[in-house]
Structure 1
Amino acid sequence: MILPLPSPTRTTAWLPVAMSFIVAMMFINLLQAQTPGSPDQAHRSSKKIRPFLKTYCFDCHGPETQESDLRLDTLEEDFNKSTSASSWIEVMDKMNLGEMPPDNSPSPTTAELAEVTHWIAAELRKAERNSFGNEGRVILRRMNRAEYTNTVRDLLHLRFLPGESPESVLPPDGTAEGFDKVSVALMLDPSLLDKYFEVALGVANKAIVDGPPPFATETIRLEMEDIAENRAIDYLCATPGIECQEKAIVLMQGSTRSFGVMKYPGTRDEIPVNGMYRIRVRAWGQRGADGKPVIMRLRQGHPSADQQLLLETEVTDEPKIYEIVVPRDPKCGEYNVSIVNQTGFQITSRAGNEIRRQQQQAGTSKDYEKVMRLQSRQQLENLTWGKPNPDAADTSKLRKLVVDWLECEGPLYDQWPPKSHETLFFQGDDATENEDYLREIFAQFLPQAFRRPVTQEEIEKVVTLCLSELAAGETYHNAVRTGLISILCSPKFLYIIEPSSTDQKRPLDDWELASRLSYFLWSSMPDEELFRLAASGQLRQPGILSAQVDRMLANPKSHGFVLGFGAQWLKTDEFRNFMPDTRLYKEYDDELGEAMVGEVIAFFSEVLHQDESALSFFNADWTMLNERLARFYGIDGIKGNEFRRVNLPEDSPRGGLLAMAGVAMRGSDGNRTKPVNRGVYVRDVLFNDPPNPPPPNAGEVEPNIKGEKLTVRERLIQHQQIPSCAACHRTIDSYGLALESFNAIGAWRTHQDGEDFRSRNTPPIDASGVLPNGKPFEDFVEFRLLLLDQKDRFAHGLAEKMLTYALGRPIEPTDRPLVDRLAEQMRNSNYTLSSLIHGVVASQAFHTK
């Protein structure tokens, strides 16, 4: 369905159009919601539950007495009925809180209580999955915002600059089963519809251009010898640590700045418009007495911290031009070139040091008159840090960065008109702008957008819309923009549609299979090769399909899978939920926090693309590091912001997912570690076995109150003394306590730190425990090896996660044989992710609507 939308320049007709579109979307969502989940009769457990209820509950909630209007002897075990489910939830909550049975009644054992509450929780989880699922069928779903962004990018050959991406405009998507690809979580409401129109309007204006570029590509250069003659920045030559020469500027400390001197011609700004710019610096280094290389850092002023660093690199001893192409926008301020990691820079005299020592003594004794006299003497004798005595400065042993010039070229254009414009106006702007050309434009474009062959009627609807715009006086380009907006807001574009006229399962056709495959591995639309194979009917052939999986995983677009499946499986978006208290953890900064997330994502990518065993997530002798994270881990020799594979020292506690700082920080609250939170993470991520939700008002391990010095472990043990809490905690806590050797920001520790533990004589860390299977461990190393023994449990959990992500629906009981086969295939292939992906793609479930 193509709905008429207003011209980008005429928006008065938008409201009735929006209402029509909303009705259409509500109809689609209604079709999804009306598919009931059937109760799973095979999983009822009356044999154990009914005797328990009869012994402990019927006296108050049976045929004769119904306290609180709750009767259990006739309560159905059909958890798909809301009335029954709500009663069972009440029973579970009361038992967990210790309110059922009452104190004056016979009391069940903790084990008996745990068995009943776990059964109720499991049945509730199954009912929830039934409500999400459709008896094993995959139902149509909306693209999530990442898929929408990637699809628009590939459809129109667009490159989005920071802040321009549809993903930055569209609101976050709902999630179910841990992923934002499950259909029931991807609803469409009027507010989201407004955002789709806003995004489509921006895409249309970016994709289709009028006339030449608004700003020509220009090159602006700042020659460093001009600094001494420029009154705005000539102070740099008098700054300690900077020396101005005839043809260059020498940095021993501090930085040289453009200070707004570099202006785009005809404007008052350095950057006239959002775009890509090439920044060049001609520089070289002079090593100091320590023999270490000279590191240059190039930064720009920008409100966003992640856009400030442009380049950091080691410079050669001979002059060389260093360049980088980066996105920039008018919010960018001046450039800043500096030397990094300079040490031993002392540019003051002994007399100055003596003056400062006397000032400190006078301040301590509160002799403020003497303090003032000493400050005056500093200024008169040029003994301050800002104006040192030049005769006392010995710079011969220092590293030096020599900068010749700084240059900016831009805005850069790959071509003009851009590729997006040529994609639509494929005959060029010299073509005859008539109705026939409109028909040709959309006959070529629409099958790509809808990811299947289209009918002539679908083409004519868009053409008719464009003709109405031309009749209203709009330009040809604006008419095509309106047609493009209508397509980008159409349900046939927004939804991954696999239509079916019956309730029975059916095989996917090749076009549908191409889309399911591409949105699984790329989070984007099929490319030309997939479309070609679909058109020829060859895609479903096993050998061809397997070869396509290998090709797609090797393609850079597979980063969509890394960010889609990998990041969501490993929950990297939760790593920075709490900001660490920097008074307690002075090592932490935003750059380190970003690196913690980057390590996990880069590790997943390395395991995937190098076909490493997924067991590396348990215990690996390598990890992915950049300079900031390597410095935090105490590993030398890593330079730059890019992540690269690094073999770990033999004595390193790192290696594997649970030794990564980001995972530890996720299981903390900014002040202290939270072992329960960490234990839940281990069970959920590594084994797809999340524990039952806690009862209402269960609380958590409280921080130390005044006068106490209990460790988190000691407080957790106290918490476990509550009978209603003990049953669940015994299956969670050991997983989290094993990670106590990592503090709140993931630093390795042997003694307590953070919170109230700030002295040297703090309690030692106890990371020992006993797993729920009875296996004891003394420390994190032994714990990691015990987890590795559960590799088959891991394979089953990972197969369930992968299948959920690939199909966009929860796992159902009928999927168990497939999950077993996928786990077996992993086991026979060194537990690689690629073997699991191939198994999923080859499965009947993946080929079935």
Structure 2
Amino acid sequence: MNPPRYSPRRSPVSTLIAMLILTALVLVESLPAQSPADVIPKHSFSQTIRPFLKTYCYDCHGSETQEADLRLDTLDDDFSKSTSAGTWIEVMDKMNLGEMPPDGSPVPTTNDLSSVTHWIAAELRQAERSSLGKEGRVILRRMNRAEYTNTVRDLLHLKFLPGESPENVLPPDGTAEGFDKVSVALMLDPSLLDKYFEVAQRIADKAIVDGPPPFATEKMRLEMEDIADNRAIDYLCATPGIECEEKAIVLMQGSTRSFGVMKYPGTRNEIPVNGMYRIRVRAWGQRGTDGDPVIMRVRQGHPSADQQLLLETEVTDEPKIYEVIIPRDPKCGEYNVSIVNQTGFQLTSRVGNEIRRQQEKAGTAKDYEKVMRLQSRQQLENLTWGKPNPEAANTSKLRKLVVDWIECEGPLYDQWPPKSHESLFYRGEDATEDEAYLRDIFTQFLPQAFRRPVTEDEIKKVVTLCLSELAAGESYQDAVRTGLISILCSPKFLYIVEPSSSDHRRELNDWELASRLSYFLWSSMPDDELFRLAESGQLSQPEVLSAQVDRMLADDKSQGFVQGFGAQWLKTDEFRNFMPDANLYKEYDESLGEAMVGEVIAFFNEVLRQDESALLFFDADWTMLNERLAKFYGIDGINGDHFQRVTLPKDSPRGGLLGMAGVAMRGSDGNRTKPVNRGVYVREVLFNDPPNPPPPNAGEVEPNIQGEKLTVRQRLIQHQQIPSCATCHRTIDCYGMALENFNAIGAWRTHQDGEDFRGRNTPPIDASGMLPNGQTFESFAEFKSLLLNQKDRFAHGLAEKMLTYALGRPIEPTDRVLIDQLAHQMQSNDYKITSLIHGVVASHAFHTK
């Protein structure tokens, strides 16, 4: 987030602000603590576990003998004690490794061993959740960086350009229970406080401006007829695939660029500063004999791949102006207008095309002598072995893009001063800049920032800080900047505060309910409508609250929920943990990787927006595709980078979450598939049922050693022969092996590929298996059908995930009744996500602190 050119000098009292903030944080952190939840007694301990230990363990670890200083006859089932938990972990590990009971001792059955180790793992898991939870209470938590960014955006009416968002500056947040919204994972230490202070300074500099904009809006246009008159760039007219007419340039292949000719007045660059710019092109199309439409693409040079494509659209047969408003910065350089490549035509030989590319590169570098030499070479070779392709010599067959002019206008300003400045200094530029105005500014601003009514003392503290700045000789605007910085760093802003003076649960007031609702569905602060309802005391009324849920889900700000809950539930940030081997998977590129992530998020968004059943995550006859991913899936007729709903061919193996390429790529190491990893993903995401942790030194399925040609399935079967691994793998591997038809980058395969498998005679894929419940399947399609039969299990898992996300705390045993109710509500409403959201918001847990 680079400060704008008009940034003021830093405040001399910034150290004082930091000290005040630290003091406030200490006060916040010292709020009454809640005691951990008591561990609910388990009848199975006395009835099953202790008899097991007595039979198989007490002889070596009892009252008379304690081998390895380990005594188990006094071990209790209180996993909240670190000493007890540590001993239980040791017992579980020894059993998993086959070291207990030792040789010569009575041997328990595999089922008995499995029951004990699963009980220990479940108790450890519950103890972990209890330590994170607070007897079902939602504890104080700070905003995560996405929430902070969105809140600043809405509070100050700011728009962040790429790379300037607070999310680009603040470090990643901690996670617990799969989300970055759980209280215990969102601590605030001094190093993070320094970052918040840095970000707040930049935000204040952006929000409050001095004087006119540093660069006025200018319009720069390049008329295509100027190309033929400019010998520096007229080589384009001699390039095969491009024809220069009197007042336009005709593209059949290749592109025409801004050529560095369009410069902002008084500078050497087209883009003088980061900002929003309007790109306009006057163009039209001429269809070829194939009758297909002419597609125009506008791109810019930029280091970031996601900022290169500016516009892609079908052009009309008549001249029309096409425009797009996009963020640009001095790193962008030139931009170009091109016709989307036509298949079946090649106007020049490969060598001729390479010469043309060298011409364009030399033109960009302003090496015009080299341009002319290459142009002469091109003309010479066109008379010999580099002549145009005879099949394409008749250019009347080709689609043509006719470009009249291209234009860049900017930097653009919605208004000046910006709305952020105007909303703070709401009386305008002619207001009297005195203490009374300071008080009015923050009387209006503080309730919005703190998301509740404020006290006179809170206003006075900020005003006093601003007055000290004025006394130090700072300008009035700098003084307000200092006040704004102090607010943005205050724990009352950074934390979602729901204070409590006792250890007992209490009902939220309407202001607190407004914040809990908005950070659930928007990952941002409440808007004016929620504030109005909170002030009137109407928000907590069931019918009002339900209507607000519908309104908020229909709002564009619900993308905060899609990116927050949807992306984290589906683990899309893990899809590209490993870069595919470029030699094995030549189809893969950066744009394909981005599209794999985009498909899953767009699919979640579509199910939510269209209020469709969440069971579509198991199987669907459609998915969300852009051009790059559609090409990878072998589906034609999809153009552009935007995702659109596409009906899948009847014989397509896609459809549903597990048929998406990104999920498959996540379950690989860039070289081979990893069925165990994929199986864990299925259990965690679809059923919220993570398997028990593996024993120490369990290892992984190893790659083939030299001379071997074992498939992943064969190596996994070998791995399962290890007794300590067999029990757990039986409940994991079947889910992963069912996905073996998808290779390491998610391409469908019927035979082994990647790793050591190349050529035609590779082993066929075996995607059969048996689920832990005993049901068998022979194919991926059958596997999906069997999973769909477990819809109730899915509903309970999704309800647990949603409640964790909404409350910012782990699920506890006391939530079981609520989870059952939420799952039943989903089942009664076609398993719709919106139904689950309404159920969560209406629950008693959502309304209590």
Query: Which range, TM-score by smaller chain?
Result: over 0.9
Q: Residue 395 of structure 2: SS of its match in structure 1?
A: coil
Is the Cα contact below 8 Å between 1:667 and 1:675 reproduced in 2?
yes
Match of 1:532 in 2: 532
Q: Which residue does the alignment assign to 1:822?
A: 822
Residues 348 and 393, structure 1, Cα contact 8 Å, conserved in 2 = no
Other-structure match for 1:4: none
Q: Which residue of 2 aligns with 1:670?
A: 670
The amino acid that maps onto 1:132 is L
SS of the residue 1:331 aligns to: helix
Query: 2:696 maps to what in 1?
Result: 696
User: How much does 1:341 deviate?
Assistant: 2.2
Matches within 5 A, 1:164-563: 164-348=164-348, 382=382, 393-563=393-563
Tell me the alpha carbon deviations over residues 521-578 of structure 1, each in whole angstroms, 9 at most, x when there is no partner: 1000000010000000011111111111111111111110001111100101111111
Equivalent position of 1:106 in the other structure: 106
Say if 1:34 and 1:223 are closer, same or farther in 2 by CA, change over 3 A. Answer: same
- CA-to-aligned-CA distance 1:330-362 (integer Å, 9 cap, x gap): 111101111212233344589999xxxxxxxxx
Which stretch of structure 1 is more off in the superposition, 280-289 or 130-139? 280-289
On the 8 A contact 2:274/2:328 being kept in 1, the answer is yes
Question: Which residue number in structure 2 is paired with residue 358 of structure 1?
Answer: none
> Which amino acid counterpart does residue 247 of structure 2 have in structure 1?
K
Q: In the alignment, is the contact (CA less than 8 A) between 1:671 and 1:755 conserved in 2?
A: yes
* Displacement of 1:496: 0.3
Deviations 1:416-460 (A, max 9, x none): 111111110111111111111111000000000000000011001
The answer to which of 621-630 and 446-455 deviates more is 621-630
1:712-791 superposed matches below 5 A: 712-791=712-791
State the alpha-carbon separation in 1 of the partners of residues 385 and 276 from structure 2.
40
Separation of aligned partners in 2, 1:384 and 1:218: 48
- For residues 145 and 408 of structure 1, the distance between their equivalents in structure 2, rounded to whole angstroms, comes to 34
C-alpha deviation, 1:97, in angstroms:
1.7
**In 2 relative to 1, CA 381–257 (structure 1 residues): closer, same or farther, beyond 3 Å?**
closer
Cα distance in structure 2, aligned partners of 1:529 and 1:513: 13
After the TM superposition, which of the residue ranges 497-506 and 334-343 deviates more from structure 2?
Answer: 334-343
SS in 2 for 1:465: helix
How far apart are the structure 2 equivalents of 1:384 and 1:522? 65
Structure 2: distance between partners of 1:764 and 1:19: 67
Question: What's the CA shift string for 1:278-297, capped at 9, x where partnerless?
Answer: 10111122222322222211
Distance (whole Å) between structure 2 residues aligned to residue 169 and residue 114 of structure 1: 47
Q: Which residue type is aligned with residue 618 of structure 1?
A: F
RMSD: 2.2
CA distance in 2, matches of 1:607, 1:378: 54
Distance of 2:772 and 2:340 partners within structure 1:
50
Alignment of structure 1 residues 609-648 onto 2, 5 Å: 609-648=609-648
Name the aligned partner's letter for residue 800 of structure 1: E
Q: Tell me which amino acid in the other structure corresponds to 1:693.
A: P
Where do residues 25-44 of structure 1 align in structure 2 (5 Å cutoff)? 25-26=25-26, 28-29=28-29, 31=31, 35-42=35-42
Contact kept? 1:613, 1:831, Cα under 8 Å: yes
Per-residue deviation, 1:23: 4.9
Q: 2:579: which partner in 1? A: 579
3-state SS in 2 of match to 1:298 = strand
What residue identity is the alignment partner of 2:230? N
Number of residue-to-residue matches in the alignment: 821
CA distance in 2, matches of 1:544, 1:409: 46
The residue type equivalent to 1:323 in the other structure is E
Map residues 39-78 of structure 1 onto 2, 5 A cutoff: 39-42=39-42, 45-78=45-78
Letter in 2 for 1:670: G
Larger deviation: 290-299 or 446-455?
Answer: 290-299
Query: Does the 8 Å CA contact 1:296/1:401 hold for their aligned counterparts?
Result: yes
In the TM superposition, residue 108 of structure 1 has moved relative to its aligned partner by: 2.4
Structure 1: which amino acid aligns with 2:703? Answer: P
SS at match of 1:235: helix
Q: Report if the CA contact (8 A) 1:240-1:386 is conserved.
A: no
CA contact (8 A) 2:18 2:197 kept: no
In structure 2, the CA distance between the partners of 1:535 and 1:33, relative to structure 1 (3 Å rule), is: closer
Counterpart of 1:599?
A: 599
Paired residue type of 2:846: F
TM-score, normalising length: structure 2: 0.94
Provide the C-alpha distance between the structure 2 equivalents of 1:350 and 1:483, rounded to a whole number of angstroms. 64
CA distance in 2, matches of 1:588, 1:676: 23
Over 3 Å counting, the alpha-carbon distance change for 1:705 and 1:125 in structure 2 is same
Going from structure 1 to structure 2, the CA distance change for 1:231 and 1:59 (only over 3 Å counts) comes to farther
Structure 2 Cα separation of the partners of residues 447 and 187 of structure 1 = 24
**Contact 2:34/2:134 (CA < 8 Å) preserved in 1?**
no
For the pair 1:564 / 2:564, whether they are aligned, the reply is yes
For residues 256 and 90 of structure 2, what CA distance do their matches in structure 1 show?
68
Between the aligned partners of 1:292 and 1:396, the Cα distance in structure 2 is 14
- Counterparts of 1:639 and 1:32, CA distance in 2: 58
The one-character-per-residue Cα deviations of 1:452-479 (angstroms, maximum 9, x if unpaired) are: 0000110011111111111111111110
Question: Within 2, Cα distance between the matches of 1:677 and 1:632?
Answer: 23
Alpha-carbon distance change, 43 to 167 in structure 1, aligned in 2, over 3 angstroms: farther
Contact 1:351 1:383 in 2 (8 A): no
**1:803–1:43 CA distance, 2 compared to 1 (3 A):** farther
State the one-letter code of the partner of 2:64: E
SS of aligned partner of 1:453: coil
SS of the counterpart of 2:422? Answer: helix
Cα drift, residue 581 of structure 1: 1.3
| Equivalence map 1:87-126=2 (5 Å) | 87-126=87-126
Q: Distance in 1 between matches of 2:778 and 2:449?
A: 58
Any conservation in 2 of the 1:29–1:187 contact (CA below 8 Å)?
no
Q: How far 1:744 sits from its partner (Å)?
A: 1.0
2-structure distance, mates of 1:391, 1:622: 39
Q: Distance in 2 between matches of 1:634 and 1:207?
A: 48
Q: Mapping of 1:797-808 within 5 angstroms?
A: 797-808=797-808
Q: CA, structure 1 residues 553+389, in 2 after alignment: closer, same or farther (shift >3 Å)?
A: closer
Residues 387 and 234 of structure 1: CA distance in aligned 2, closer, same or farther (over 3 Å) = farther
Q: Cα gap change, 1:25/1:618 in structure 2, threshold over 3 Å: closer, same or farther?
A: same
**Identity within the alignment, %:** 83
Structure 2 gaps of 5+ residues are 1-6, 354-375
State the alpha-carbon separation in 2 of the partners of residues 331 and 306 from structure 1.
Answer: 14
Q: Describe the SS at the equivalent of 1:45.
A: helix
Measured after TM superposition, the shift of residue 107 of structure 1 is 2.6
SS in 1 for 2:331: coil
Amino acid at match of 1:564: G
Residues 739-781 of structure 1: per-residue CA shift (max 9 Å, x gap): 1111111111111111111111111111111110111111111
Q: Structure 2 CA distance, aligned partners of 1:421 and 1:536?
A: 29
3-state SS in 1 of match to 2:639: coil
TM-score (norm. length: structure 1): 0.94
The DSSP-based 3-state class of the residue aligned with 2:473 is: coil
Q: Is the 8 A contact 1:273 1:330 kept in 2?
A: yes
CA deviation profile, 1:580-610 (whole Å, cap 9, x unmatched)? 1122111111111111111111111111111
Q: Following the alignment from structure 1 to structure 2, what is the Cα–Cα distance between the partners of residues 472 and 225?
A: 60
Q: Which SS does the other structure have where 1:325 is aligned?
A: strand
Deviation at 1:40, TM superposition (A): 2.4
Q: What code does the residue aligned with 2:482 have? A: T
Structure 1 residues 82, 226: CA separation in 2 closer, same or farther (over 3 Å shift)?
same
